[in-house]
């Protein structure tokens, strides 16, 4: 049955206006004033804001790491995303020795429980002739993005030659390279030194991963993008200097784009010094309040194009179960590194928090406009990753992925409101103004207030085409 959303205020990446939305067969059919349709199911959105469903291009569900696994899987993480207004997620497949196609098959199997729409990037951790020969097949499968690492020596890292070769191949194959920027060699020097000196607490995670390593590595990626002509997307930008490097390169027409994640806007190394500092451990680490400020400025000025999450949650105390959907769940987490910061699983929850937190502290606090909010959390990632205008848009023909916001809702946020499968929330006790009230995935209401109407298996794999450089 068609659905008609009446009297909402639509916010897109470029405009804000009042209109009705007619939905039929999972798509937006019409947008206009005073629409009517016989027998349509009506949703009254008077006084509400309407945005396209959020697109989070950076999640890690069900990721084995540090002898445990990230605590949201492709169902619980999707459910949490939906409650926060996100209807599309992009996760990372891990490259296995058995080849790229087989690696993808393993992750597609894990994602069969999907509750929202999803796609994958490929973590490229090894490059040789066989891998190069398989890249076109990966693109045929709808995966046209490769993540490379300049850190995690001996595990995930490609050397600069491998990255350069990957960029050339990406250019030939119409693919986009995403880069994790830190200096792996420096980190490998500093960690054993810190441990030998008896430094085991969480702040040493940040002190052994210097911000300048991220800055020069970002500039290195920009340089290689310029030298190969291949576009590059810098993930999880965390230091102000990275924004400076991106600006430098973009001003010279280098095809580089960037993403930051909410924790890098709000938290600093001081949070790692708290007694529960392990809650903030991720890589790259939290930096300084000056870095927070520079990253906010880069969002406002659109030097950075995307706000993603790098959602990779772990329990703070995985020895104590929580109740999730009526069942006790306990998954080993941050307590694994109680005596040694190098053993603390790296990663933070955030897939549900992203939109509401950025709405309150970005739009509400006047850090950027509501249209920029939509651009950075939905439209830009849809464009960059080849999903626009199917996703990230309120346009006739787009998937009817829609968030209806109660912009006046007052909420003391925290773990009690969160469907992220972990025992803590980074924004515990923070006062939010505005929250998604109804969330539609391809025309179906999957979140209605506190009610979960979505289903495992309802999420579709999205084969992506070539994206845009914006
Ligand atoms: O600490 C993090 N971010 N874990 C996820 C892996 C990555 O590098 O994004
Ligand atoms: Zn990374
Ligand atoms: Zn990540």
Which pLDDT value is given to residue 212? 98
Are the C-beta atoms of 53 and 82 separated by less than 8 Å?
no
E strands of 70-215, at which residues? Answer: 86-94, 117-123, 145-149, 176-180
Domain assignment of residue 137, yes or no: no
Is the beta carbon of 180 within 6 A of some atom in ligand 1?
Answer: yes
Distance (angstroms) between ligand 3 centre and the Cα of 233 equals 13
Distance (angstroms) between ligand 1 centre and the Cα of 299 equals 21
Q: Given ligand 1 and candidates 310, 342, 349, 426, which is best to mutate, with the most ligand atoms within 8 Å of its CB?
A: 310
Which pLDDT value is given to residue 263? 99
Distance (angstroms) between ligand 2 centre and the Cα of 137 equals 24
Atom of ligand 1 nearest to the CA of 347: 1
Distance (angstroms) between ligand 3 centre and the Cα of 109 equals 20
Is the beta carbon of 60 within 6 A of some atom in ligand 1?
Answer: yes
Kindly report the protein residue whose alpha carbon is nearest to atom 8 of ligand 1: 283
Which pLDDT value is given to residue 295? 99
What are the b/e assignments for 271-297, b being 16+ CB within 10 Å?
A: bbeeeebbbbbbbbbbbeeebbebbbe
Whether residues 12 and 85 share a domain: the answer is no
Q: Given ligand 1 and candidates 95, 283, 308, 351, which is best to mutate, with the most ligand atoms within 8 Å of its CB?
A: 283
Whether residues 211 and 267 share a domain: the answer is yes
Write the pLDDT tens digit of every residue in 255-311: 999 999 999 999 999 999 999 999 999 999 999 999 999 999 999 999 999 999 999
Residues 6 or more apart whose Cβ sits within 8 Å of residue 276: 316, 424
Distance (angstroms) between ligand 1 centre and the Cα of 312 equals 7
CATH of the domain at 401: 2.30.40.10
Whether residues 273 and 401 share a domain: the answer is no
Q: What angle do CA 152, 153, 157 make, to 5 degrees?
A: 70
Domain assignment of residue 112, yes or no: no
Query: How many other C-beta atoms can be found within 10 angstroms of the C-beta atom of residue 371?
Result: 17
Distance (angstroms) between ligand 1 centre and the Cα of 227 equals 27
Is the beta carbon of 379 within 6 A of some atom in ligand 1?
Answer: no
Whether residues 354 and 438 share a domain: the answer is no
Domain assignment of residue 266, yes or no: yes
Whether residues 229 and 338 share a domain: the answer is yes
Kindly report the protein residue whose alpha carbon is nearest to atom 5 of ligand 1: 347
Are the C-beta atoms of 178 and 151 separated by less than 8 Å?
no
Whether residues 395 and 374 share a domain: the answer is no
Distance (angstroms) between ligand 3 centre and the Cα of 58 equals 6
Write the pLDDT tens digit of every residue in 345-378: 999 999 999 999 999 999 999 999 999 999 999 9
Distance (angstroms) between ligand 1 centre and the Cα of 264 equals 13
Whether residues 352 and 287 share a domain: the answer is yes
Distance (angstroms) between ligand 3 centre and the Cα of 429 equals 26
d(CA 182, CA 171): 23
150 DSSP assignment: S
Whether residues 195 and 318 share a domain: the answer is yes
Nearest to 59 by CA among 272, 352, 280: 352
d(CA 298, CA 118): 28
d(CA 359, CA 301): 17
Alpha helices in 309-360 (DSSP H): 354-358
Domain assignment of residue 306, yes or no: yes
Is the beta carbon of 282 within 6 A of some atom in ligand 1?
Answer: yes
Q: Domain of 19?
A: 3-51+390-412+426-452
Tally of domains in the chain: 2
Is the beta carbon of 347 within 6 A of some atom in ligand 1?
Answer: yes
Which pLDDT value is given to residue 189? 98
| Tokens representing residue 60 in the block | 């890690």
Domain assignment of residue 116, yes or no: no
Q: Which residue stretches of the chain have pLDDT < 50?
A: none
Q: Given ligand 1 and candidates 347, 348, 426, which is best to mutate, with the most ligand atoms within 8 Å of its CB?
A: 347
Whether residues 395 and 267 share a domain: the answer is no
Strands 27-32 and 16-24: antiparallel
Kindly report the protein residue whose alpha carbon is nearest to atom 7 of ligand 1: 283
Are the C-beta atoms of 230 and 167 separated by less than 8 Å?
yes
Is the beta carbon of 205 within 6 A of some atom in ligand 1?
Answer: no
Domain assignment of residue 335, yes or no: yes
CATH of the domain at 236: 3.20.20.140
Which pLDDT value is given to residue 139? 97
| Closest ligand relative to 285 C-alpha | 1
Whether residues 399 and 331 share a domain: the answer is no
Whether residues 70 and 200 share a domain: the answer is yes
Domain assignment of residue 119, yes or no: no
Domain assignment of residue 115, yes or no: no
Kindly report the protein residue whose alpha carbon is nearest to atom 2 of ligand 1: 347
Whether residues 399 and 370 share a domain: the answer is no
């Amino acid at each position: 049955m068609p659905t008609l959303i009446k009297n909402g205020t639509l916010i897109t990446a470029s405009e804000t206006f009042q209109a009705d939305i007619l939905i039929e067969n999972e798509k937006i059919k019409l947008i206009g004033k005073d629409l009517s349709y016989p027998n349509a199911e009506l949703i009254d959105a008077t006084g509400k804001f309407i945005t396209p469903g959020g697109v989070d291009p950076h999640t890690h569900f069900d990721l084995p790491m540090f002898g445990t696994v990230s605590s949201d899987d492709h169902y619980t993480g999707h459910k949490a995303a939906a409650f926060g207004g996100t209807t599309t997620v992009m996760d990372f497949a891990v490259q296995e020795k058995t080849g790229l196609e087989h690696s993808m098959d393993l992750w597609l199997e894990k994602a069969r429980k999907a509750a929202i729409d999803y796609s994958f990037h490929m973590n490229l951790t090894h490059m040789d002739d066989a891998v190069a020969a398989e890249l076109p097949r990966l693109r045929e499968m709808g995966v046209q993005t490769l993540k490379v690492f300049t850190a995690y020596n001996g595990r995930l890292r490609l050397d600069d030659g491998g990255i350069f070769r990957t960029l050339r191949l990406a250019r030939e194959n119409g693919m986009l390279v995403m880069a994790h920027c830190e200096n792996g060699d420096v980190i490998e020097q500093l960690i054993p030194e810190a441990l030998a000196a008896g430094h085991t607490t969480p702040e040493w995670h940040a002190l052994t991963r210097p911000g300048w390593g991220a800055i020069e590595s970002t500039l290195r990626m920009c340089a290689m993008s310029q030298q190969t002509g291949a576009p590059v997307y810098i993930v999880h930008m965390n230091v102000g200097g990275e924004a400076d490097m991106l600006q430098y390169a973009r001003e010279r027409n280098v095809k580089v784009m960037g993403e930051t994640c909410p924790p890098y806007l709000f938290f600093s190394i001081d949070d790692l010094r708290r007694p529960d500092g392990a809650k903030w451990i991720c890589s790259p680490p939290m930096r300084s309040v000056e870095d927070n400020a520079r990253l906010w400025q880069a969002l406002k000025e659109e030097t950075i194009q995307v706000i993603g999450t790098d959602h990779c949650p772990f329990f703070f105390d995985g020895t104590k179960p929580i109740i999730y959907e009526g069942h006790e769940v306990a998954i080993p987490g941050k307590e694994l590194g109680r005596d040694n910061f190098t053993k603390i699983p790296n990663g933070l929850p955030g897939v549900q928090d992203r939109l509401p937190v950025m709405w309150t502290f970005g739009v509400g606090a006047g850090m950027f406009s509501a249209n920029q909010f939509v651009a950075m959390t939905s439209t830009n990632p849809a464009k960059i990753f080849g999903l626009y205008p199917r996703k990230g848009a309120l346009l006739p023909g787009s998937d009817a992925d829609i968030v209806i916001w109660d912009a006046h809702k007052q909420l003391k946020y925290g773990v009690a409101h969160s469907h992220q499968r972990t025992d803590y929330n980074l924004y515990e006790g923070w006062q939010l103004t505005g929250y998604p009230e109804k969330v539609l995935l391809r025309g179906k209401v999957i979140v209605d207030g506190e009610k979960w109407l979505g289903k495992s298996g309802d999420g579709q794999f999205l084969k992506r085409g070539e994206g845009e450089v914006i």
